[in-house]
Amino acid sequence: MRGLNKVQIIGNLGRDPEMRYTPNGKPVTSFTVAVSRSWVKPEGERMEKTEWFNVVAWERLAEICNQYLSKGSPVYVEGRLETRSWEAENGQKHFRTEIIANEVIILDRRGRAEEELGEAALAETPPEEQPPVSESHS
């Protein structure tokens, strides 16, 4: 049976994107997205909780995210979850779960794609350029 690993979030960037390059020259951009939800408790108290997601974009999508996104930008992100691990110099093992983005839609404050950005507002990494799920990008 085939599995499914798909994530969709809508939120705001928590910081400016950071772009770097792998040793073989592939661009990679990382950023955080805050997604808030609110509810009312049975007693009438209004509650709010914010979840923070680490997002990673590769190649052309990385370049577009770096160019057009900034802290506070509202975005729709679609991708898959991937957890990577590494060992610190002191021997402590670290884990980080990230959304590997395959689509990012830049939203305006009303939740619609920004018209003035045209094609750059919708950016998707073509399937043939996406690394396989088993490949590590550490």
pLDDT tens per residue, range 104-113? 999 976 555 5
49 half-sphere exposure, CB direction, 13 A CA radius? 4
Tell me how many domains the chain contains.
1
Instruction: Indicate whether 113 belongs to any domain.
Output: yes
DSSP letters along 83-109, please? EEEEE-TTS-EEEEEEEEEEEEEEB-T
Provide the pLDDT confidence category of residue 137 given band limits of 50, 70 and 90: very low
Give counts: helices (H), strands (E), the chain.
Answer: 1, 7
**Distance separating alpha carbons of residues 34 and 93, to the nearest angstrom:** 26
Instruction: Indicate whether 37 belongs to any domain.
Output: yes
| Rounded percentage of the chain residues whose pLDDT exceeds 70 | 78
Instruction: Indicate whether 69 belongs to any domain.
Output: yes
Per the rule left: phi > 0, alpha: psi between -120 and 50, beta: everything else, 35 is beta
Instruction: Indicate whether 138 belongs to any domain.
Output: no
CATH of the domain at 43: 2.40.50.140
Domain that holds residue 96: 7-129
Instruction: Indicate whether 137 belongs to any domain.
Output: no
- Look up the pTM and report it: 0.74
Instruction: Tell me the per-residue pLDDT of 39-62, one tens digit each, with 9 for 90 and over.
Output: 999 999 999 999 999 999 999 999
pLDDT at residue 114 is higher than 70: no
Instruction: Indicate whether 33 belongs to any domain.
Output: yes
Instruction: Indicate whether 114 belongs to any domain.
Output: yes
pLDDT value for 108: 77
* pLDDT greater at residue 84 or residue 112: 84
pLDDT at residue 117 is higher than 80: no
Instruction: Indicate whether 134 belongs to any domain.
Output: no
